[in-house]
């Protein structure tokens, strides 16, 4: 696992010669011993004992031109992305955009303000300020997401009203 994550971090260099290092690498593996940890930290910004395996690059990595890239495939992927984005419809507001993002983060772990800010590419303070400007808050968005999840589980019959009351 560690080998795979490390190799993925080298992808920008291998494909385009761009020396872009990830901002953070989270890993579900337990924290290694102090010697291994020191060596790993010198190479990449690892964080262990995380809920997910994830490599976070700066947004600029998406702008890298890959000389060996297939232009036909790129056009096809752009067309598919446009179709999926069109199916999602327009985002009515910043609040709705954050709601959609927060909803996509419901994967067995409880999203936090920190995880939403990381996923949205904003600092926590900026996210809080933007939510406040939209007359919203992280807690209200999270409650709305949790309510929708509970309603869906009730509709599918995988959650009883008694248990739903305990979760509220």
Q: Per-residue DSSP letters for 2-50?
A: HHHHHHHHTHHHHHH------SEEE-SSPP--HHHHHHHHHHS-EE-S-
Q: Which CB contacts under 8 angstroms, 24+ apart, belong to 91-94?
A: 93/134, 94/130, 94/131, 94/133, 94/134, 94/136
Query: 58 and 111: one domain?
Result: no
Q: Is 65 or 160 the better-scoring residue by pLDDT?
A: 65
81 in any annotated domain: no
Query: pLDDT tens for residues 32-52?
Result: 888 888 888 888 888 888 888
Distance CA 128, CA 134 (A): 10
Q: Is residue 136, in this structure, part of any structural domain at all?
A: yes
Q: Are residues 34 and 103 in the same domain?
A: no
Structural domain contains residue 85 = no
Whether residue 154 sits in one domain with residue 101: yes
Pairing type for strands 24-26 and 46-47 reads parallel
* 48 domain residue, yes or no: yes
| Residue for token pair 């179709």 | 83
On whether residue 80 sits in a domain, the answer given is no
Domain region containing 156:
90-167
Q: Are residues 95 and 148 in the same domain?
A: yes
59 and 94 together in one domain: no
86-144 residue pLDDT tens: 776 665 688 888 998 898 888 778 899 999 998 888 899 999 999 998 899 999 999 99
Q: How many domains does the chain have?
A: 2
pLDDT score recorded for residue 165: 52
């Amino acid at each position: 696992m560690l080998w795979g994550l490390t190799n993925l971090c080298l992808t920008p260099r291998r494909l385009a010669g761009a020396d872009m290092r990830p901002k953070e690498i989270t890993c579900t593996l337990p924290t290694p011993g102090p010697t291994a940890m020191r060596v790993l930290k010198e190479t990449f910004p690892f964080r262990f004992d995380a809920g997910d395996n994830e490599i976070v690059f700066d947004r600029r990595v998406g702008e890298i031109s890959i000389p060996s890239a297939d232009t036909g495939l790129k056009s096809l992927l752009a067309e598919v992305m446009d179709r999926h984005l069109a199916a999602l419809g327009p985002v009515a507001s910043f609040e709705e955009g954050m709601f959609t993002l927060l909803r996509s983060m419901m994967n067995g772990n409880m999203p936090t303000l920190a995880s939403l800010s990381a996923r949205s590419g904003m600092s926590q303070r900026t996210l809080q300020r933007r939510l406040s400007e939209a007359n919203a808050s992280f807690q209200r968005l999270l409650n709305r997401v949790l309510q929708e999840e509970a309603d869906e589980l009730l509709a599918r019959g995988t959650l009883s009203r008694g248990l739903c009351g305990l979760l509220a």
